[in-house]
Structure 1
Amino acid sequence: MRKPGQVVGWVALSVLFPGVAHLRAGWRRTGASVLAIYLSGVAVVITVAVVSGADLAGRLIGRLGLVAVMSGTLGVAWFVLVVHSYVVLRPGRLSVRAQVVSGALTGVLAVGAALPFGLTAHYAAVSQRTIDGLFKSSGEVPAPGAPFGGRERVNILLLGGDLAGNRVGVRTDSINVASVDVHTGHTVMFGLPRNLEGVRFPQGSPMYNHFPFGFRLPSGPEGAREDLLFSVWEYADQHPEVFGGRTGMGPQTLKETVGEILGLRIDWYTLVNIGGFAKIIDAIGGLELTVDQNVVYGRRQEGLIPAGTRRLTGEQALWFARSRTFSDDYARMRRQKCVFAALLDQAEPATVLTRFTEIATATEGLLETDIPNPMLEHLVPLAAKAKKSGVTSIQFVPPMISTATPDWGLIRTTAARAITGGTGGHGPARPPKIAEGCAPVEP
């Protein structure tokens, strides 16, 4: 083979079909073996991906360290294979100039072939470190064939914490529960207002023994209330004597409290630092929202997000979600849901890949959860089911309930009916209402 174009052409073809250059060069046994292994591997990957789908994604989540090692190894192997494909074609027969040109092009092809594997290894390693930092390494271990322990639904408490630097403790300003059917993925999202008064605790619990008639405390300075639902976590953390000296009881106490209110068993919680969302939004390049009315923010009304479709920075989106100027807690709850939904919708795979390291870095300190790491491989496919099945949204806000004198029986009955669809079954998903204060962006 005396033409450099032919040499480079066969090398390029071997990037897509390893072994063909060896066949062309007369290395029939080696070429046939490499090509057969490659085609068999591709067939297995396609079959597993088609059959397993989201389950495969879940299993990979639990084995990201192995994925990183395997990807790195494959990248090196592919690089070596491309270079060897060039060598077996005997480029020494070419002129010196042709050898330099074809060798340089082969180097580019080798690096290009190895690059996707290197990026995959990098993303997997970063993801593993991020997951290890966010999720517990121990806890509930899923049983084979029954990862959710025979439960028909899993209930996850989703909290948004306003962790401002001038505040003491954890204030859970956004309180929602996602109840997911483990078979269909149908999800019911329950929203509870932060200012629920007189919340009840499970009988026999330390908080019930301390507050048998509901959570009531004397008003704080300037009439501030410290006995509302959003301060249960903080109170439990600040008063270990209620729990026999045990510390850090805030998360468990709030899970039990919300479970008592809704009549559900809360399995796990996630606490998101709402302030940390600004970093995530900046990392993906901002968030596009259609604001349907002006939103003023700041104690001195120093900021304004005008109505209209616009791309918000992280700081602007944070103010949009948190502002109560000329507004109230309920409007803020709806705007927060809008921001969360927009973030999930606009964090497209291409954006996530191109800004992966920045996004992973931004998650540091963003999330706290008691979901055990081993459960992730089962929750990922369940989340995919939930996305297809849709979400029914129930907000326990006025006029449905009074936050000062809540009808606990009505809340429980409504929650039970929402889960069963009113007929005892799983019930069809209903499209969620557009949040007040924003609207979906037109494609």
Structure 2
Amino acid sequence: MTHRAWWLVLMNFLIPGSAQVLAGNRRLGRLGLGATLSLWALLVVGLALFVFLRSAFITIVTFDIVLWVVQGLMVAYAVLWLVLTLDTFRLLRIVKAAPGARFLIAAATVVLLAISAGGASVGAYYAGVTRGTLSSIFGGGAIEPPVDGRYNILLLGGDAGPDRDGLRPDTIRVMSIDAETGAATTIGLPRDMRYTPFSDDSPLAALYPDGFQHCDVSACKLNSIYTEAELRHQDLYPNAAAEGSSAGIEAMKEAAEGVTGLTIQYYVLIDMEGFANLIDALGGVEVTVTERLPIGGDEQLNGVVEWIEPGKQVLDGYHAQWYARSRHSTSDWDRMQRQNTLIEAILTQFTPGNVLTKFESIANAGTKIVKTDIPQGMLSYYVDLASKTREQPIESIELTPPTVDPDDPDFAAIRDLIAEKLAPTTDTSSGGG
């Protein structure tokens, strides 16, 4: 009876339902076996898709309805395994087992139940977390095609505060990605740039035909356009909220288009106040600090509470945030370069292994700091594209002195510079005569 009990416990764990088919309620056993074989089939199909058709796998598992189904199935499996385990324990007739083995058999039953039913419960929980995270971060708008073979995404680092009238983007960059190769170039736009033009189809182009000046906010600079649109011109963007955006974001997209000459398909807004959460969730970010940077303080460095020292360091969220934001003792142009360095470091360290091992923390941080109008249906495409991007150096174009004078920019020259940098290169090494 002791051997029989051990065999039933192991069979129930390895092939749920088999214990009932052999020694108990065969109807319940057939239900358990059917569910077990179905689960194995789903796992095999999922594994095959993940290995051979990863884009299709990501597309399927990021649909809301699929995540709902996965969550429901995991709950159902957890309940079924609980029922099967309790019924198996009844079949053990543990009182007939050897006295010395009874406790071990009971303990093994509890442990294996925790692994099977507990694992299914955890799977259901993570499916729910994934569904909530994706719904919170990604938009549900239309899928935009690449323009001239590229996707151009506006990256905004929002820096709201009690001393500011609304949010003003502290970081403004355009990430231009080749839709086939994944080769990426980031374009840094100075937040203090003046006379910013808008794209021809922008409703603000009629209000500011000579660029962004004579505005209603305190300073007519590039990063003030967000506040101007949010507080004064929301009526010009009546569909923004329904499309997962806002008047300020749409105005910033049109300003970025006017400056760069590129078509901006999507945006990503990062709340810099919550940015530290994501860095901490990743376990820190490794960067090489090239100069001593103050935390806090004013232009005269009064009130500095701490310094970030030079050298290769793994910065936690708090220090990474200040690495990107510290402005005193260095120029805005230096700060833009540090922000670009930080973005590249995060992209490099944002690996599948890192995400899987810290999934819940990263998901919770993401819902608090990231918002985008990239459709959830394009997630698989961008995951594939990001994997290609990670394998290549990220080029950078900084619209800063001496290349560009933010107080008196030559926008025609800026557009020519960007067009030249993004133009496909032609390999002439093997041709010509």
Query: Is 2:184–2:395's contact at 8 Å kept on the other side of the alignment?
Result: yes
The reply to whether residue 408 of structure 1 matches residue 422 of structure 2 is: no
Q: How far has the Cα of 1:183 moved from its partner? A: 3.1
The reply to whether residue 187 of structure 1 matches residue 184 of structure 2 is: yes
Q: Distance in 2 between matches of 1:353 and 1:42?
A: 18
Q: Residue 126 of structure 2 aligns with which residue?
A: 123
Deviations 1:178-205 (A, max 9, x none): 2233333332322222222221122353
Query: Is 1:17–1:38's contact at 8 Å kept on the other side of the alignment?
Result: no
Q: How far has the Cα of 1:85 moved from its partner? A: 5.3
Q: Distance in 2 between matches of 1:9 and 1:123?
A: 32
Question: Aligned to 1:302, what secondary structure does the other structure show?
Answer: strand
Q: Distance in 2 between matches of 1:12 and 1:371?
A: 47
Q: Distance in 2 between matches of 1:85 and 1:158?
A: 56
The reply to whether residue 230 of structure 1 matches residue 223 of structure 2 is: yes
The reply to whether residue 257 of structure 1 matches residue 250 of structure 2 is: no
Q: Distance in 1 between matches of 2:356 and 2:75?
A: 18
Q: Residue 431 of structure 2 aligns with which residue?
A: none
Question: Which of 275, 284, 288 in structure 2 is aligned with 1:277?
Answer: 275
1:158/1:218 CA distance change after superposition, 3 Å: closer
1:9/1:195 CA distance change after superposition, 3 Å: farther
Consecutive unaligned residues in structure 2, runs of 5 or more = 241-245, 429-433
> What letter corresponds to residue 164 of structure 1 in structure 2?
G
> What letter corresponds to residue 203 of structure 2 in structure 1?
P
Question: Which of 284, 287, 294 in structure 1 is aligned with 2:292?
Answer: 294
1:310/1:409 CA distance change after superposition, 3 Å: same
Q: Distance in 1 between matches of 2:156 and 2:316?
A: 22
- Stretch moving more, 331-340 or 389-398: 389-398
Question: Which of 138, 141, 149 in structure 2 is aligned with 1:139?
Answer: 141
Q: Residue 240 of structure 1 aligns with which residue?
A: 233
1:81/1:388 CA distance change after superposition, 3 Å: farther
Question: Which of 87, 101, 115 in structure 2 is aligned with 1:112?
Answer: 115
Q: Distance in 2 between matches of 1:314 and 1:344?
A: 15
> What letter corresponds to residue 315 of structure 2 in structure 1?
L
TM-score normalised by length of structure 2: 0.81
Q: Distance in 1 between matches of 2:254 and 2:115?
A: 54
Q: Residue 433 of structure 1 aligns with which residue?
A: none
TM-score normalised by length of structure 1: 0.79
1:252/1:241 CA distance change after superposition, 3 Å: closer
1:277/1:83 CA distance change after superposition, 3 Å: same
1:411/1:362 CA distance change after superposition, 3 Å: same
Consecutive unaligned residues in structure 1, runs of 5 or more = 426-443
Q: Distance in 1 between matches of 2:38 and 2:225?
A: 59
The reply to whether residue 306 of structure 1 matches residue 309 of structure 2 is: yes
Q: Distance in 2 between matches of 1:355 and 1:191?
A: 30
Query: Is 1:155–1:180's contact at 8 Å kept on the other side of the alignment?
Result: yes
Question: Which of 314, 319, 324 in structure 2 is aligned with 1:321?
Answer: 324
Deviations 1:291-335 (A, max 9, x none): 232112322233211123444332222212111111011111121
Q: How far has the Cα of 1:9 moved from its partner? A: 5.8
